[in-house]
Structure 1
Amino acid sequence: MRTVLLTALAPLVWGSTYAVTAEYLPPDRPLLAATVRALPAGVALLVVGRRLPEGAWWWRTAVLGGLNIGVFFALLFIAAYRLPGGVAAVLGAVQPLIATGLAWPLLGERAGARRVAAGVAGVLGVALVVLRAGARLDTLGVLAGLAGAVCMAAGTVLSKRWGRPEGVGPLAMTGWQLTAGGLMLLPVALFVEGALPVLTGTNLLGYLYLAVVNTAVAYWFWLRGIERLPAGSVAFLALLSPLSAAVIGWAALGQALSPLQLLGVAVALGSTVAGQGRPARPAMQKGHEALLTEQDPAPLGRRSA
């Protein structure tokens, strides 16, 4: 439970991204926002961790850095700039369903009917909270939001599958991925958006918050949770991000919450809790363990020890 709660802090903090983007950052600079969010935090964590990848972990870091950071951040900010926050949040809420589907072939985490139902309920709950009548739909923004959900789900599952090298802590792994993703974003941002605009003190404050709290700290909690929890369970915690965004809008921006929105909060929270159940194991794996138990009555944990 302690690990679940600490991991949940990440999406709760990420819920502030939309408000900070709208209130503090310069307009029409999604790639700049993504780069500044990732690269400085990654370099700082590299300095603290004092470890670089070795061997196969160079290309694995590039893949994970692209899925979890580089490509995902770019798509996230494109969706945030081109769509109302509610629409972008609903598109991101499909991530648990995508992660659940990927976790079966890649990790052997077979999703039961309860987890699938919880994923559908999570999308519906988020929709009740954040969607508004007459919400404007932008084709590029919708595609970016869906692609971002796929990237984050794939990055979560692959992070679980590959784990981390022996002797390397989650802090160093976070630095590797943030730096890799930031380096991918930097040339694209300069090519597409040009030189840095004149930044105000408010802009700098927004970027500082995104880099330190929203990224370095939050991703350390997130990657630590991926290591210790089933990938499907971690993905369901991402539903807390749009709920956090709605609460921030209510508390900081004076946006009222209707009874229907409160119902949506309850549904989304319930689906998050339901998604934390232990995934079913493949029948082949369970049969293999049963055979070992018949041959040797000692518990499997003691046999492997």
Structure 2
Amino acid sequence: MNEGKASAGAMTALGATVVIWAFSWIVMKLVLRYAGPFDFSAMRYAMGAAMLFVVLIVMRRPLAPTPLAGTIVTGLAQTAAFQGLGQFALTAGGTGRVVLLAYAMPFWAVLLAWAILGERPVARHWIGLALAAVGLTCVIAPWHGLGNPVSTLFALVGGMCWALGTVTSKQMFQRHAPDPLTFTAWQMAFGAAGLGIVAFLVPQRPIEWSAEFIAGLAYSVVLATSLAWTLWLLVVRKLPTAVASVSSLAVPVLSVLMAWAVLHEAPKANEWLGMAFIVAGLVAVSGVTARTPPR
């Protein structure tokens, strides 16, 4: 019973994370009208980390740093590299396209988890990955070219970095069992430091402190950063890496629909077909979520 409740709780956390992050990409695109990509990302994660440390103090949770090697690698990979590269890719690419390229992450995560954690994919994982791969190929439509090559490359590499961060997070929980909130705060702090260095070195446009920018920053800090990343680490801890990673493909599907509604980026016929395959992939892996694997 407890195992079932833990799995159900992890799936609820995953669903909330999907919705928050899907709209986050719309916000990330909109704030580029008022700030440079690395300035915004550095501010977002510095403020998010600070907020989490305040929460830790109020809740009297552990403040001591989690094991440094795994925490730093996770922070630089899934916070600094993924978010920084993804935000930069949005400067030259459409929201739907960038998010779909970045969310090729599950393909890298499943392979890295197999190599590093020994999590051998089962039949459902391979079926889900195959369907999702067909879906992403339909959406990207490489036979029509890859659009802006810099945006495409940065989005893909960002997804690879997130995959590495996902696997190192799982490894941290398996080896050291850190408090999820403490681990989130520290990895985010290290990631924010890395983004701050990049923001200092790369010339960008001055920040325009408009009401829209402040609202976008608030959404990104409170919901998309502090809350969603904590929920994501809980998901990674409770569910198999393949399940968590492939299920996260619901984010680009929702983002494409939200970009259509908010940014008027209407999906093409091949994108609708691709999203159908992605949803089929999610259904294929859903059957493995009933049990949490032994830890």
Give the TM-score normalised by structure 1: 0.80
Deviation at 1:125, TM superposition (A): 2.3
**Secondary structure, in 3 states, of the residue corresponding to 1:34?**
helix
Q: Note closer, same or farther for the CA distance 1:117–1:124 as it changes in structure 2 (3 Å cut).
A: same
1:141 corresponds to which of 124, 127, 151: 151
Structure 2: unaligned runs, 5 residues or longer: 1-7
Could you give the per-residue CA deviations for residues 86-145 of structure 1, whole angstroms, max 9, x where no partner exists? 332332232111111111122221123542332232133245457699676222222211
After TM superposition, the structure 1 = structure 2 runs for residues 56-95 of structure 1, keeping only pairs within 5 Å, are: 57-95=67-105
| The one of 38, 43, 47 aligned to 1:36 | 43
CA separation in 2, counterparts of 1:219 and 1:202?
23
Aligned partner (choices 154, 163, 166) of residue 156 of structure 1: 166
Going from structure 1 to structure 2, the CA distance change for 1:80 and 1:123 (only over 3 Å counts) comes to: farther
2:112 counterpart SS class = helix
Q: Which amino acid in structure 2 is aligned with residue 3 of structure 1?
A: A
**C-alpha distance in 2 between matches for 1:143 and 1:58:** 30
State whether structure 2 residue 250 is matched by structure 1 residue 243.
Answer: no
Check if 1:9 corresponds to 2:20.
no
| SS of residue in 1 equivalent to 2:223 | helix
- CA offset at residue 18 of structure 1? 3.0
Does the alignment pair 1:270 with 2:280? yes
CA distance in structure 2 between the partners assigned to 1:49 and 1:165 by the alignment: 22
CA contact (8 A) 1:128 1:263 kept: yes
5+ residue gaps, structure 1, are 280-300
Q: Larger C-alpha radius of gyration, 1 or 2?
A: 1
The Cα of 1:194 is off from its aligned counterpart by: 5.6
Q: Deviations over 1:47-70 (max 9, x none)?
A: 22133344x712321111111101
Cα distance in 2 for partners of 1:195, 1:97 equals 35
Superposition RMSD in Å: 2.9
Does the C-alpha gap of structure 1 residues 140 and 255 become closer, same or farther in structure 2, counting only changes over 3 Å?
A: closer
Distance 1:274 1:244 in 2: 18
Could you tell me whether the CA contact under 8 Å between 1:25 and 1:206 is conserved in 2? no
What is the CA deviation profile of residues 259-293 of structure 1, one whole-angstrom value per residue up to 9, with x for unaligned ones? 665443332122123234549xxxxxxxxxxxxxx
Q: Secondary structure in 2 aligned to 1:110?
A: coil
Name the CA distance, whole Å, in 2 between partners of 1:71 and 1:253: 25
The number of equivalent residue pairs is 280
Q: Quote how far apart the aligned CAs of 1:5 are.
A: 2.9
Verify: 1:216 aligned to 2:226, yes or no: yes
CA distance in 1, matches of 2:255, 2:72: 30
Measure the CA separation in 2 of the matches of 1:262 and 1:71.
29
Asked if 2 retains the 8 angstrom alpha-carbon contact of 1:126 and 1:268, the reply is yes
Question: Structure 2: which amino acid aligns with 1:122?
Answer: A
**Worse-superposed segment, 125-134 or 182-191:** 125-134
For 1:189, the aligned partner's letter is: A
Give 2:33's match in structure 1, choosing from 26, 38, 43. Answer: 26
Larger deviation: 185-194 or 257-266?
Answer: 257-266
How far is 1:208 from its partner? 1.1
Q: 1:294: which partner in 2?
A: none
Q: Once the 2 structures are TM-superposed, how far is the Cα of residue 85 of structure 1 from its aligned partner?
A: 2.2
Deviates more, 1:119-128 or 1:236-245: 119-128
Conserved in 2, the CA contact under 8 Å of 1:41 and 1:211? yes
CA distance in 2, matches of 1:25, 1:237: 28
> How many angstroms apart in 2 are the aligned matches of 1:252 and 1:59?
41
Tell me the distance in 2 between the aligned counterparts of 1:168 and 1:89.
30
- Structure 1 residue 198 corresponds to structure 2 residue 221: no
Between the aligned partners of 1:226 and 1:155, the Cα distance in structure 2 is 11
CA distance in 2, matches of 1:131, 1:30: 26
In 2 relative to 1, CA 137–261 (structure 1 residues): closer, same or farther, beyond 3 Å?
Answer: closer
Say which is worse superposed, 240-249 or 190-199, in terms of deviation.
190-199
CA distance 1:130–1:222, shift in 2 (3 Å): same
- TM-score (ref. length: structure 2): 0.83
Amino acid at match of 2:87: F
- How far does residue 193 in structure 1 lie from its aligned partner after superposition? 2.7
Cα pair 2:34 2:207 within 8 Å, conserved:
no
* In structure 1, C-alpha distance between the alignment counterparts of 2:176 and 2:29, rounded to whole Å: 41
